[in-house]
Structure 1
């Protein structure tokens, strides 16, 4: 059927292209005719390559579309297109250049040309002053490399491409910036997420003279967590699912409540997924640096010598502080440098405080961080500043001490503790959080009244010393698993637990136990002999306990007499309690070590261990006294310091006029317009005379306004009758 229009095919390339793809052999002559036409057009093109050539563009795209149909005849076609682009890249017309690049991309997608053959050409074309072309080539390179590594990673090809990109990255051209963007995008897509890519960006990009490449590399290492924005947006429109479900059960069923219920269920499912998801690091690239100490020193040296903008300096400080905190580096010159920025009036001062906290770690000598804490106390935590400044200073000092507790001195701590009685609530809460931190890590630095009620967890806290490494050969809290293995009957007999779950001490309730046994004997009338025998056994046991207590008391009296004879009575009297604590802790460690070696711990076991460790935080150190579990223990300091932790101020912000107006405007978005609303089914139908009267000019209706004085006799009768009827109804 296609041969009937054979005379029109040379001029209709799309139709010929469609026919060739269906049956290449039947239209071989037409193809050769077009191929010869292309060669002649290229010869003419060489005379004026800068002029636009629509015929050449159409023929190039035509050949690229059907190249797979005639692979032998078009074997040299990709080289021909590439030579034109390489020779006349800067003087070609923009449309012609874009068309030739699209033709090469088509050939690459059909696997008629290798990726390494066009890579060098495309990077040379990135130097052209043509933004759409650069964007097109960048997207193609990213997509092509992604498709090459879709099924499995092609390490050989990736190494070849990476080597060439690293060479391009060293230059100060636009191609270097696009090469950096390509590598960053491929890292985010988990294609080139190896240590080699990260280290090249760190070595070449972070020390480039080109500001754009430098900023792009620093932003790569300061990659933000994509979940933060979603969490903030979800928190604004947060709905409690339990309240909505209860309201839906009780109240009348409406469409609005059904929508709220479905939305609440979705939010609850989303929150559950976030909690159950594995934790993701938002700056994992810094973990892959081979030489973090050398990189931090070079960045700091570059920072001291640079005269770039303040924003670039902030980014450099952020990267240095993260490197120091992550890899526990020693860069002592960093802290005196940042001290000059710790002023309340300093621009971006909260970020400077954040960098100080990020650059703190346990292996840092306390003498290095003491001036930083002292500077924060002198410039922020003083009565001459506002409450917000004091609270921010206390929060920053808390974050520093959470990572390096030995930096806090006892004198400075006493000064900071006094702010718990400040008049502003924000300062009080910040001071209390600092006190709570040291209760869990260094309670000895606090005054006795500030340490709080002693708990079992406090007994297990060991004193911190610089350079001390706490390497445990057991799982802390694993001794609770041995207690769970004991049978319930033994635990009930040993502890004397009653039916309500309370704790009863048998030794201190002799009369009560006798009374209970007498009641049991009265209730069981059929087994009087058994009850009498039990009664006798209990009585004998009580007598034995009393004799044992008498002998124990006599021994204690003898020991007390010997202690009184000694001069240091107070220290010796305290000695047995301390020994008892040490023995208990030693036994717990031995039990935990034993259970860790003898069995494989499951998830349920770890849950019990975590619950027991939390219980220790709340349970009093005195035996037999238990407190309700109300709060969680202090969490371990994270690797990255959040700016919100430093700027966290416990008080309700006062809204100014602009904020109130903005909140009012937000409430008016979905609300119906106030005033008269035309509720007619057909808005184009006619209106009544009363409705028309409201829109007329008053001068036109003036003569009708005096209608009451000129009423007819009939109107007066009707009005009087209505008035009398109304009075009658009121009676």
Structure 2
């Protein structure tokens, strides 16, 4: 009987793929064949340790077979992952590429089936980044990112994250360029996916901004300058995907078929999980905002910029990074501005970008005397008759943005002459120059109209407006513009249902009688003063007359409820409408709400070089360019 069973059983001893299929179907029935292959692997393993550089396709096939069936025999295969792990750790540089890839894929399979610890395996994979094998590094990178995302899918695995982060941060200082670059890419990708979206990750990436490796330096700088835009694009893409989801059809299983009912329940479950992910809202901040020591980062980057011998594009990245930090955190690093002044020449490469980085680094905390040489340099090198119209427009627009950020520059000596010269360009023939000059004219009307001639000040501008003194701060009582919102709501401009989510503030009585609008007696400070010559003399001191102050309790909107983000958006819109109406009541209807919303939502610290170029006249196309446009078609995306 036994011989009959053995005769009907196929001989798959020498065919590992077929044996693998049989073992998965019947692990108990093929246990003998499995043990035979396991003993074969042990002997091959010992021989391979003696000659790790030898090509062995059969050994790789054995490893692949055992990794696929390891889940069927967890007890017998308990030591198998450790053997492959040690083999790779000790010989990964001398192994044959195909065999090395097979071993790595086997470990990935064991990890996906829960037969290996994530921390141990990921540490090995970080070490394998040193391999001079590009395809293997890409494979490792994808698995590491995917595995860490999977570990943090349900909740933050703080223990594993900390262990992996500590090892990953050490890899950034590794001597191997490939290992450092790939480790940095892992950090950047996990930050972008909001898995490691914390201060620790950002500050470790910031250490690469001063690296001696140019590739590492450029990657870190590009991360800080573009990661926020990348995250915003990903969020927009996710919103589009959500809108593209087909709504659940509850009547799809009206025939009571199990398949249709199962599909409907799966769609409901998917939508429920999507709503749950939306509720798990995590506040995100710009990467530059999460720097622990922005002043130190800016100073170290400036020191590296001064001694940098790299190509000019790398220097521009450093200038952009320093300027963004100074503008965002309102820092004062005065040596940065004389360094930029050397590149402010009309013939300089990418001079528009340099001007943009200069503008975005300026704020009202900088002494105006420090920027006066730069203003003169821009005026002498850009706003002259020998320059082209495009160069003059860039210079005027740059000066306008400097005046906007530092109004005290207009109080310096000789600025009245410069302003007068800039306004004179309002009568130029070129439209680009005229629009730039009008921008300066409108700005001076708002912040310092005394510098203008009476005919240039305009009709609806306050002639008494002047910039605040350096360091002067005007404190406001309450929220500026809350009265405008109250008037608009009272007039019925905004729907009351929009504010149903607002938080009402409960009124708390100041005393048991609850008299809020009555006179309040406030004693002078001298009533509490005591004499230091003894208790006897203190008793003879007569009390001062109590000064009675009338405190008017205003029923302000911001005192009655906590304003929501929607309220602040409306206040900003109403303030702009009020300012526009004060300037010119006749033209207020011509101002578009889209332009105001775009200006309000834009990042004030980030300056686009194209914004300084201003208006550009559409040039006449050549015959070749027109023919190329015709061939592309009207709906072609460049």
TM-score range, shorter chain: 0.7 to 0.9
Q: Provide the rounded CA distance (Å) in 2 between the counterparts of 1:325 and 1:605.
A: 27
Number of matched residues? 515
Higher Rg: 1
Q: Provide the rounded CA distance (Å) in 2 between the counterparts of 1:381 and 1:2.
A: 99
Report 1:437-456 matches (<5 A). 437-454=443-460
| Helix, strand or coil at the partner of 1:138 | helix
Shift of 1:163: 0.6
**1:594 counterpart = 2:536:** no
In structure 2, which of residues 622, 625, 632 is the aligned counterpart of residue 656 of structure 1? 622
Q: Provide the rounded CA distance (Å) in 1 between the counterparts of 2:79 and 2:566.
A: 68
Is the 2:55–2:96 contact (alpha carbons within 8 Å) kept by the matching residues of 1? yes
Q: Provide the rounded CA distance (Å) in 1 between the counterparts of 2:284 and 2:618.
A: 31
Aligned to 1:303: 305
Aligned to 2:590: 630
Q: Which runs of 5+ in 2 are unaligned?
A: 235-281, 493-551
CA spacing shift, 1:664–1:404, aligned 2, 3 Å: same
**1:285 counterpart = 2:245:** no
In structure 2, which of residues 190, 194, 200 is the aligned counterpart of residue 196 of structure 1? 200
Shift of 1:434: 1.6
Aligned to 1:422: 428
Aligned to 1:540: none
Q: Deviations over 1:572-613 (max 9, x none)?
A: xxxxxxxxxxxxxxxxxx998834324555788667645543
Q: Provide the rounded CA distance (Å) in 2 between the counterparts of 1:644 and 1:440.
A: 24
Aligned to 2:472: 468
Q: Provide the rounded CA distance (Å) in 1 between the counterparts of 2:152 and 2:436.
A: 51
Q: Deviations over 1:280-304 (max 9, x none)?
A: 9999211111111111111111111
Shift of 1:96: 0.7
Is the 2:64–2:106 contact (alpha carbons within 8 Å) kept by the matching residues of 1? yes
In structure 1, which of residues 208, 211, 216 is the aligned counterpart of residue 211 of structure 2? 208
- Higher mean C-alpha deviation, range 380-389 or range 630-639: 630-639
CA spacing shift, 1:122–1:451, aligned 2, 3 Å: same
Shift of 1:442: 3.2
In structure 2, which of residues 82, 98, 105 is the aligned counterpart of residue 79 of structure 1? 82
Shift of 1:618: 3.6
In structure 2, which of residues 352, 355, 358 is the aligned counterpart of residue 353 of structure 1? 355
Q: Provide the rounded CA distance (Å) in 2 between the counterparts of 1:74 and 1:341.
A: 66
Q: Provide the rounded CA distance (Å) in 2 between the counterparts of 1:155 and 1:369.
A: 48
CA spacing shift, 1:66–1:391, aligned 2, 3 Å: same
Aligned to 2:128: 125
**1:412 counterpart = 2:415:** no
Q: TM-score, normalised by structure 1?
A: 0.65
Q: Provide the rounded CA distance (Å) in 2 between the counterparts of 1:46 and 1:171.
A: 27
In structure 1, which of residues 606, 610, 616 is the aligned counterpart of residue 578 of structure 2? 616
Is the 2:23–2:30 contact (alpha carbons within 8 Å) kept by the matching residues of 1? yes
CA spacing shift, 1:325–1:337, aligned 2, 3 Å: same
CA spacing shift, 1:169–1:416, aligned 2, 3 Å: same
Shift of 1:154: 0.9
CA spacing shift, 1:70–1:336, aligned 2, 3 Å: same
Aligned to 1:385: 387
Shift of 1:67: 1.0
In structure 1, which of residues 365, 368, 376 is the aligned counterpart of residue 367 of structure 2? 365
- Higher mean C-alpha deviation, range 658-667 or range 20-29: 658-667
Q: Provide the rounded CA distance (Å) in 2 between the counterparts of 1:187 and 1:603.
A: 26
**1:157 counterpart = 2:157:** no
| Helix, strand or coil at the partner of 2:589 | coil
Aligned to 2:535: none
Aligned to 2:605: 639
CA spacing shift, 1:485–1:669, aligned 2, 3 Å: closer
**1:176 counterpart = 2:180:** yes
CA spacing shift, 1:28–1:484, aligned 2, 3 Å: closer
Shift of 1:218: 1.2
Is the 2:407–2:467 contact (alpha carbons within 8 Å) kept by the matching residues of 1? no
Report 1:110-149 matches (<5 A). 110-149=113-152
Shift of 1:667: 3.6
Shift of 1:90: 1.8
CA spacing shift, 1:428–1:17, aligned 2, 3 Å: same
Aligned to 1:317: 319
Q: TM-score, normalised by structure 2?
A: 0.74
Shift of 1:120: 2.9
Q: Deviations over 1:262-317 (max 9, x none)?
A: xxxxxxxxxxxxxxxxxx99992111111111111111111111212211111111
Q: Provide the rounded CA distance (Å) in 2 between the counterparts of 1:604 and 1:179.
A: 41
Q: Provide the rounded CA distance (Å) in 2 between the counterparts of 1:487 and 1:36.
A: 88
Q: Provide the rounded CA distance (Å) in 1 between the counterparts of 2:88 and 2:576.
A: 69
Is the 1:480–1:608 contact (alpha carbons within 8 Å) kept by the matching residues of 2? no
CA spacing shift, 1:48–1:645, aligned 2, 3 Å: same
Q: Deviations over 1:676-698 (max 9, x none)?
A: xxxxxxxxxxxxxxxxxxxxxxx
Q: Deviations over 1:629-666 (max 9, x none)?
A: 22259746712101220122242223234432322332
Shift of 1:620: 4.8
Is the 2:394–2:614 contact (alpha carbons within 8 Å) kept by the matching residues of 1? yes
Q: Provide the rounded CA distance (Å) in 1 between the counterparts of 2:439 and 2:213.
A: 45
Aligned to 1:19: 22
Aligned to 1:572: none
CA spacing shift, 1:606–1:210, aligned 2, 3 Å: closer
Q: Deviations over 1:122-161 (max 9, x none)?
A: 2222222211111111111111111111111111111111
Shift of 1:376: 0.8
| Helix, strand or coil at the partner of 1:664 | helix
Q: Provide the rounded CA distance (Å) in 2 between the counterparts of 1:483 and 1:133.
A: 66
- Higher mean C-alpha deviation, range 409-418 or range 471-480: 471-480
- Higher mean C-alpha deviation, range 100-109 or range 33-42: 33-42
